[in-house]
Amino acid sequence: MVKVLEDILSQSAYSAEIEVPLEKVNIADWLFNLPESEYLRCCPPDHIAAGVTWTDDGRRMSINVEQIGSGLVVQHYVAEVAEPAYCRMNSISDVFTANGRTQVNVVWELIAEKVDDSRTLYTNRVTAHPTEAFMDFLAEHGVEYKDAAAARQVAGGDHNRRETPLFAASIARRALAK
């Protein structure tokens, strides 16, 4: 069992408005029916691969492979909440770096909120927490936590800033196609 620590390694939230009424938006439907080619278009060149599967106990999962900063990250997002206007996904993510492999916990929240009768605000919030294995990895390689957190904040924030408007546009296209 992976031990997740309470500390926040990085956190970012970006929003984009779409010209779609909230009632037509279904983030869970979009997320679990997202073609890989569409995922790749949502943050080139960082997004590498995506797919969906289930946990042994039947919960939905989204598997995403992406480059965030200098790390190749394999996200194993398990749906904690999967609703039309809100999804909360939780992942013990494998991070491959030049120094080897470690793990972090990433919570991905996808949020749709009504602006008015014809517009919706989409917010993409990503919070990363260190794991015990991550802390051991840092100690083994002589990296200070504050330095790792600062680097992750910059890289994760930049990635989220670029993918959020593209995710929003993709969610809007799916909503309008239904």
Average pLDDT of span 164-171? 98
Question: What is the pLDDT, as a whole number, of residue 161?
Answer: 98
Rounded CA-CA distance 120/44 in Å is 24
Cis peptide before 130 (omega within 30 of 0): no
CA proximity to 71, closest of 49, 101, 36, 96: 96
Work out the pLDDT band at 1, boundaries 50, 70, 90: confident
Q: Are 119 and 147 in contact (CB under 8 A)?
A: no
Q: How does pLDDT run across 51-88, given as a tens digit for each residue?
A: 999 999 999 999 999 999 999 999 999 999 999 999 99
Average pLDDT of span 151-159? 97
Rounded CA-CA distance 62/6 in Å is 23
Rounded CA-CA distance 25/118 in Å is 11
Question: What is the pLDDT, as a whole number, of residue 178?
Answer: 85
